[in-house]
Structure 1
Amino acid sequence: MAHTFKRTIHACYRGYIVQAAINNLAPLLFVIFQQQFDLSLSMIGNLIFLNFGTQLVVDAIAVKFADKIGYRKCMVTAHILCTVGLVALGILPNIMMPYAGLCLAVIFYAIGGGLIEVLISPIVDAVPGDDKASAMSLLHSFYCWGQVLVVLLSTVFLQICGHGMWMILPVLWAVLPLVNGLSFLKVPIPTPAEGHEKIPIKKLLASKIFMIAMIMMLCAGAAELSMAQWSSLFAEKALGVSKVMGDLLGPCLFAVFMGVGRTFYGLWGKKINLTGALLVCSILCVVSYLLASLSNIPAFALMGCSLCGLAVSLLWPGMLSYSSACYPGGGTAMFGILAICGDLGCSIGPWITGFVSEGAQSSPALVAQAAADGFTPEQIGLKIGLLSAVVFPMIIAGGILAMRRIRTKQEVPGKMGGEQQGA
């Protein structure tokens, strides 16, 4: 029966590549935006917050109305909005006030991205199959490989055509959601939570372990996006490498490591204990942030950025799989609530990084110390901003340990599939 949904799965894979494009294209242009439109770090942070904040609002609305409207209509609409937003990103800043144009474009594609985020996971989860955790991780690996494609192809384009032609790049990427939106007009859409009684939202929110999962999803989004959104600018401005090398060794290598981690778990996840893997990933994430922000050697700092991709690879899909296994009847509401928490983290994490960076540059004491150590105010600001994000993986590690204690008391209904191998 699963082969019936093969085209659906492939469309979902491409959907996450679309998600990668709308989340990671603009950060590659941040330096260009700074130079051409005179944007501050806090204004750039606000663009990131606007993107994921809009997705968060859409997540909340989709939880309530997606089932009533229908998944097919929602997915097609999502791809249309992503197409419009990417085209607007290339056009609007040049025909109106630049910052307002950027904000409008972000809002358009963020609405589409929010719908995609909420709906793709429950669609794939509803496809018949035994190993849901591996399937979910493999699905999310396509976000990573999409990010790699976005960074590589966009970097090559800017290198060949020049920074002055950047506005063509979003228009070219808009072809992807347009084509994939047409795919969702035809592919079969499975019914989520089929065979399970739907769990009311109130019951989900009454569970201690689900509340912890929500907090961990928030921190997973914050840990992932703080590095993904700032690593390009961090590499160029704080570490002093060229834009091409900064993009390739920052967000690109970050995405490669994240993709490798998710693909590995997607293929061999049955043999791996999920709780243990999440704990190891959270600890590695702490180490990665410390290495990236505290090392004065650019090669080591870039290594920290890259390893962070591997560290966060399992956090988001792992929590989705954990929750789905605990609550097989959670359906759209469960995935939507977790997506809301994840997108809240995606908004808050990079925004905090930018806010702390800007604040550090305004501190006379820090600026004086930075000058004594041979750093510019911008360099020390970015380093301190990135360091502040280490709190998120630390919270995740604590949440995993708390989950273990709760599970030993057998509070969670249902079984954990792969967790039976010795959580």
Structure 2
Amino acid sequence: MKSLFLILSNPRYFAPAFVFTSLNIWFGTWAIYIPTVKEKLAIDKADLGIAIFFLSLGVFTVFPIASKIINRLGVGKATWFAVVLNSAMALFPLLAPSYYSLCVALFFLGASNGLLDIAMNTLVTEIEKEDKKNFMSAAHGFFSLGGILVGLGSFLIPLIGNPFLHMLITTIIVFSINFSLKKHYYQVKAAPIEKEPFSFKLFKPLLILGIIGFVSMGSEGAIIDWSGLYLKEITLAPEFLIGAGFLAFSITMTLGRFFGDWISGKIGSVKIVGAGAVIAAIGYAFVLSGNTVLAIIGFALNGLGFSVMVPELFRIGGNVKGVESSQGVAFIAGTGYLGFLLGPVILGFTAEKFSLVTSFYGLLGCAALVLATTFILNAKKK
């Protein structure tokens, strides 16, 4: 909790942490309206999966150039530029009048999301280096906090009655707060380093962690994009509970990340990842019960299980010797986002060909894969 108090007591740390919150508010507000958009455009689950693939395509289009943009502008300025870009791009998916325009809108939302994700993680990495203080896990906790705010906002859906108006109000508020805070990080630049040529050996220690990032972020993306539809179609939840799974997931994800640094220091990184995989697997068993209340509890356990994995990966990626922090973060983001954004696409095709329940059995298998990976890590340590 020390890092949480650090963020809340000093605007130098709160300002970048709120950028994390903002990204999840924009993305989450779009996500809770996925069932609405699906019905409005009269598309099936496979078509929705393809549309989400365009979001993934936008992210991966920006990855090769993100570090160049960040290094040219400076990490602080690049973060603010990405905040402005996301504020605009978040509005268009809910305005899309057709399936094809939805795909285009999601592509540009994905590109702006990808740039902001790399920029803000690089920003925190550089502030950590400069100030000799760790708050990466807590910053990711603030990302999850954005999901809580979105989940709470989902209870206002019947009252607002207009998806675009909901997003517009949200964007204006979030942008205004970011505008008031940007002065605290705008001038931050990456510290100069002695670069080394890229080699497989240089990144070899990160590859197994990349697998963990792929699977854990893939599961996170699947729950964000499909939990509402699962509760609506499988457990037949009432409308006011459709966003409850995402809310429960986000609450426990937030709490887990606020305590993550402390727990990791007590039991070690490998054990915390293994324990998280077990908790996530139990969560999927609850989700697959088909009962609304148990499914919501299951999503909460999922959030707790996956909460602490990704922040440590970004910190490692931003501190690889001989590699610019933006490039290291981009490497981790690439493996993680590959799961985060392609996972829901695969889930969509599986749901259309088989069933949504089958897709969640697949996610249970992913939790087992993460647990198996921790045994490999333990074997390497011996």
TM-score scaled to structure 1, two decimals? 0.80
Distance 1:28 1:210 in 2: 33
Which amino acid is the alignment partner of residue 278 of structure 2?
I
**2:12 corresponds to 1:13:** no
Whether the aligned pair in 2 keeps the contact of 1:72 and 1:184 (CA below 8 Å) is no
2:3 is matched with which residue? Answer: none
Between 1:24-33 and 1:387-396, the stretch displaced more is: 387-396
Is 1:289 matched up with 2:289? no
CA change 1:326–1:395 in 2 (3 A) is farther
* Structure 1 residue 255 corresponds to structure 2 residue 250: yes
Q: Is the 8 A contact 2:118 2:330 kept in 1?
A: yes
Secondary structure of 2:38 counterpart: helix
Q: Which residue of 1 aligns with 2:273?
A: 278
Q: Deviations over 1:206-247 (max 9, x none)?
A: 443212122221112112111221111101111011121121
Q: 1:405 aligns to what?
A: 379
Inter-partner Cα distance in structure 2 for 1:102 and 1:159:
23
Counterparts in 2 of 1:9 and 1:53: CA distance versus 1, 3 Å: farther
Aligned positions of 1:38-117 closer than 5 A: 38-90=42-94, 92-93=95-96, 97-117=97-117
Assess, with a 3 A threshold, how the Cα gap between structure 1 residues 398 and 319 changes in structure 2: closer, same or farther. farther
Q: Which residue of 2 aligns with 1:372?
A: none
Q: For residue 148 of structure 1, give the secondary structure of its aligned residue in structure 2.
A: helix
Q: After the TM superposition, which residues 179-218 of structure 1 pair with which residues of structure 2 at under 5 Å, given as runs? A: 179=176, 182-183=179-180, 186-188=183-185, 189-192=187-190, 197-202=194-199, 206-218=202-214
Q: 1:301, CA displacement in angstroms?
A: 2.6
Aligned counterpart, 1:378: none
**Contact 2:76–2:189 under 8 Å retained in 1:** no
For 1:242 and 1:212, locate their aligned partners in 2 and report how far apart those are by CA, in whole Å. Answer: 41
Shift of 1:180: 5.0
Partner of 1:137: 137
| Cα deviation code 1:330-356 (max 9, x no counterpart) | 511111111011111112211111110
1:20-31 residue pairs with structure 2 within 5 A? 20-31=24-35
- Flag the 1:74–1:176 CA change in 2: closer, same or farther, 3 A: farther
Aligned residue number for residue 347 of structure 2: 353
Secondary structure class of the residue paired with 1:186: helix
1:233 is aligned to 229
Opposite residue 238 of structure 1, the aligned amino acid is I
Q: How much has 1:48 moved relative to structure 2? A: 2.6
Q: Give the deviation of 1:130 after TM superposition.
A: 4.5
2:74, 2:188 within 8 Å by CA — same for their partners in 1? no
Matches within 5 A, 1:323-338: 323-324=317-318, 327=321, 331-338=325-332
Contact 2:219 2:363 in 1 (8 A): yes
* TM-aligned CA deviation for residue 176 of structure 1: 4.3
Equivalent position SS for 2:91: helix
Unaligned runs of 5+ in 2: 1-5
| 1:122-147 deviation per Cα after TM superposition (whole angstroms, max 9, x unaligned) | 21122244453xx1110100111101
AA aligned to 2:211 is I
Residue 373 (structure 1) aligns with: none
Percent of aligned pairs with the same residue? 19
Cα distance per residue 1:267-322 (max 9 Å; x no partner) = 665434222111111222223223312x1433323322221011110121132234
Q: Is the 8 A contact 2:55 2:106 kept in 1?
A: yes
| Count of matched residue pairs | 373
* Distance (Å, rounded) in 2 between the aligned partners of 1:407 and 1:190: 37
Matching of residue 121 in structure 1 with residue 121 in structure 2: yes
Describe the superposition over 1:22-53 as per-residue Cα deviations: whole angstroms up to 9, x where unpaired: 32122211221232221211222223322233
Q: Is the 8 A contact 1:236 1:243 kept in 2?
A: yes
Q: Which range moves more in the overlay, 20-29 or 226-235?
A: 20-29
* 1:259 CA drift (Å): 0.6
Tell me: CA distance 1:152–1:68, structure 2 relative to 1, closer, same or farther (3 Å).
Answer: same
Question: Tell me, what secondary structure is at the counterpart of 1:239?
Answer: coil
Partner of 1:156: 155
Change (3 A) 1:123 1:259: same
Change (3 A) 1:275 1:243: same
Q: CA offsets per residue over residues 80-120 of structure 1, 9 Å max, x none?
A: 22111122234x32xxx422332333233322211111111
**1:171-194 residue CA offsets vs partner (Å, 9 max, x unmatched):** 112224533553575234444456
Q: For 2:237, what is the secondary structure of its paired residue? A: coil
Question: 1:176/1:266 Cα in 2 relative to 1: closer, same or farther (>3 Å)?
Answer: farther
Work out which of the residue numbers 224, 239, 243 in structure 1 matches 2:220.
224
Structure 2 counterpart SS, 1:241: coil
> Matched residues in 2 for 1:73 and 1:234: separation?
40
* RMSD (Å), alpha carbons: 2.6
Matched with 1:146 is: 146
Contact 1:75 1:184 in 2 (8 A): no
Amino acid in structure 1 at the alignment position of 2:176: V
- TM normalised by structure 2 equals 0.88
- 5+ long unaligned stretches in structure 1: 361-380, 409-423
